Amino acid sequence: MREILLILIVAALSVAALVKPQIGLYGYIWFSIMRPDVLAWSSGLPYSMALAAATLAGSLRYLPAVTALFKSSISILLLALQIPVLLSAAFAQDPSLCWGPLNLYARVIVMALLVALLVRTEQQLRTTLLLIGGFLGVLGARFGIYGILNGGVQFSTGNAGFMSDNNDLALGLAMGVPLCWYSRTLVRPVWAKAACLLMSFGSIAAIIMTHSRGAALSLATVFILIALNERRRLSALLLFILMAAPSIHLVRQTYLPRLATLESPEEENSALLRLIYAKGAVRMWLDHPFWGVGFGSRNQMVLWRKYMSEASRSEPQVIHNTYLQILVDSGSFALLIYVVLLLGTIIFLQKSAARAKRRHPGMEAYPLAMEASLAAFAVGCTFLSRVTFDLVYTLLMCAASWQAIEKRLAAEKPSAGVEQPEARGRLHPMWAASKAGWRPAAAETGILADGETHFFV
- Per the domain annotation, does 145 fall within a domain? no
**d(C-alpha 178, C-alpha 181), whole Å:** 5
- Per the domain annotation, does 112 fall within a domain? no
pLDDT of amino acid 395: 97
pLDDT of amino acid 137: 96
Residue 426 φ then ψ, to 5°: -115, 20
Per-residue tens of pLDDT for the chain, all 457 residues: 788 999 999 999 999 999 999 999 999 999 999 999 888 887 778 899 999 999 999 999 888 888 888 989 999 999 999 999 999 999 999 999 999 999 999 999 999 999 999 999 999 999 999 999 999 999 999 999 999 999 999 998 888 888 888 999 999 999 999 999 999 999 999 999 999 999 999 999 999 999 999 999 999 999 999 999 998 899 999 999 999 999 999 999 999 988 887 766 655 667 777 888 888 899 999 999 999 999 999 999 999 888 876 555 557 788 999 999 999 999 999 999 999 999 999 999 999 999 999 999 989 999 999 999 999 999 999 999 999 999 999 999 999 999 999 999 888 755 443 344 343 344 444 444 334 333 333 333 333 333 333 332 3
pLDDT of amino acid 40: 83
Q: What is the CA radius of gyration of the chain?
A: 23
pLDDT of amino acid 315: 73
pLDDT of amino acid 442: 36
- Per the domain annotation, does 89 fall within a domain? no
**d(C-alpha 285, C-alpha 326), whole Å:** 10
Say which residues have a Cβ less than 8 Å from residue 245's Cβ, sequence separation at least 6: none
pLDDT of amino acid 266: 56
- Within a 10 A sphere around the Cβ of 99, how many other Cβ atoms? 13
pLDDT of amino acid 42: 79
CA 71 to chain centre: 22
- Per the domain annotation, does 118 fall within a domain? no
In Å, how far are 307, 366, 436 from 265, measured between CA atoms? Answer: 21, 37, 57
User: In terms of residues, how long is the chain?
Assistant: 457
- Per the domain annotation, does 196 fall within a domain? no
Contact 178, 369 (CB under 8 A): yes
**d(C-alpha 256, C-alpha 169), whole Å:** 20
**d(C-alpha 57, C-alpha 54), whole Å:** 5
- Per the domain annotation, does 354 fall within a domain? no
- Per the domain annotation, does 29 fall within a domain? yes
pLDDT of amino acid 298: 94
**d(C-alpha 348, C-alpha 334), whole Å:** 21
pLDDT of amino acid 419: 40
Based on the structure, what is the number of domains in the chain? 1
Name the residue range of residue 23's domain.
Answer: 1-58
Contact 258, 211 (CB under 8 A): yes
- Per the domain annotation, does 109 fall within a domain? no
